[in-house]
Amino acid sequence: GENVEQHPSTLSVQEGDSAVIKCTYSDSASNYFPWYKQELGKRPQLIIDIRSNVGEKKDQRIAVTLNKTAKHFSLHITETQPEDSAVYFCAARGMDTGRRALTFGSGTRLQVQP
Amino acid sequence: GAGVSQSPSNKVTEKGKDVELRCDPISGHTALYWYRQSLGQGLEFLIYFQGNSAPDKSGLPSDRFSAERTGGSVSTLTIQRTQQEDSAVYLCASSLTGRTAKNIQYFGAGTRLSVL
């Protein structure tokens, strides 16, 4: 089955700096990679996703890059703000029969210092 | 419309008791997922329902865990003879379909289960 590893587990940056979170996956058949943001005590919410036929996707201050050959993908947040502080989860989804759920990384706690 | 709704939001139970957790997915969503999130950990897949197909139970940690989905809508996750290690937040998610390469999963707020 799929295995997703995520680094770092915690990340502290100054407001205005960039933050990068990296994930690797094991199943070369995986083709969908979403990122979720979970604020304290709240539900995970999708912030951006990418499919395997695309190398990069941007949405305002957030971007995701995917390297299929190396089987890794990264989340980039530029001009960080205190409200970006949360736990971020990467995930991967393959196409193997019967397995439609996402496999999540262990999460990165991002703290943006004002 | 309304998002994914879960109840109860918090559940405290004694070791050995059975518990039932409920999930009401977004109307029209045919795919429903249960995940477990232990303190400070990622989300662990438990079970997946897609329409009338047989559920994917490959993530259930033991035979004390079971789930059903009635009428293709509401789902109930049942944990029998609860143990302290079952303490976690149980999250439900739904998506429009599970069969396309991309399906956005929308999460409920979760049920925080504490087993004393």
Q: What is the pLDDT of residues A49-93, one digit of tens each?
A: 998 777 999 999 999 999 999 999 999 999 999 999 999 999 998
- Range A19-44 burial, b when 16+ CB lie within 10 A, else e: bbbbbbbebeebbbbbbbbbeeeebb
The length of chain A in residues reads 114
For B112, nearest residue in chain A (alpha carbons) = A41
Q: CA nearest B105 in A: which residue?
A: A46
Contact B65, B77 (CB under 8 A): yes
Report chain A residues whose CB lies below 8 A from the CB of B55.
none
The average pLDDT across A14-32 equals 94
- Closest-CA distance of chain B to residue A110, Å: 13
* Closest CA of chain B from A45, distance in Å: 7
Q: Examine the pLDDT at B39 and tell me if it is beyond 90.
A: no
pLDDT value at residue B99: 63
Separation CA B54–CA B95 (nearest Å):
17
CB contact (8 A) between residue B58 and residue A44:
no
Contact of A51 with chain B, judged by CB distance below 8 Å, is answered with yes
Nearest-neighbour CA in chain B from A4: distance (Å):
10
Q: Which two tokens stand for residue A86?
A: 């949360």
**Rounded mean pLDDT of B65-87?**
94
Q: Which two tokens stand for residue A87?
A: 């736990």
Across the interface, do A51 and B102 touch by the CB < 8 Å criterion?
A: yes
Closest residue by Cα to residue B82 from B109, B62, B58? B62
- Measure the CA–CA gap between B43 and B91, rounded to whole angstroms: 8
Residue of chain B whose alpha carbon sits nearest to that of A5: B42
Structure tokens at A57: 């996707």
Residue type, A36: Y
Nearest to B7 by CA among B95, B114, B113: B113
From B110, which residue of chain A is nearest by alpha-carbon distance?
Answer: A43
